[in-house]
Amino acid sequence: MKIADHGPDRLCARPPVESRLALSTTVAAHEKATIEDALRASGGRVFGPSGAAARLGIARSTLESKIRALGINKNRYRGRRAKQ
């Protein structure tokens, strides 16, 4: 049985570029908001038992990398610990 190389049932069809870019932007925005919420809740602390990395369940180095990549100013959240 041969799978058709064209048509809507094509298994390896890639979505249009616009769709992929929209998904990438949406994922990045969600990731940024999640990290900012964790930083806010931890008073800007990235590591340690009450830090944002622990809250998110990721390594400190991973969080630092994401903070840089997403252009987040972690100092903005220092001293603003959210109540639990």
In angstroms, the Cα distances linking 8 to 12, 13, 14, 57 are 10, 8, 11, 39
Kindly report the number of other CB atoms within 10 A of residue 53's CB atom. 21
pLDDT digits (tens, 9 = 90+) for 31-74: 999 999 999 999 999 999 999 999 999 999 999 999 999 999 99
C-beta of residue 40 within 8 angstroms of C-beta of residue 72 = no
Structure confidence at residue 1 (pLDDT): 47
Q: Is pLDDT larger for residue 13 or for residue 47?
A: 47
Q: Is pLDDT larger for residue 78 or for residue 3?
A: 78
Kindly report whether the global pTM for this prediction surpasses the value 0.75: no
C-beta of residue 10 within 8 angstroms of C-beta of residue 43 = no
End-to-end CA distance of the chain: 59
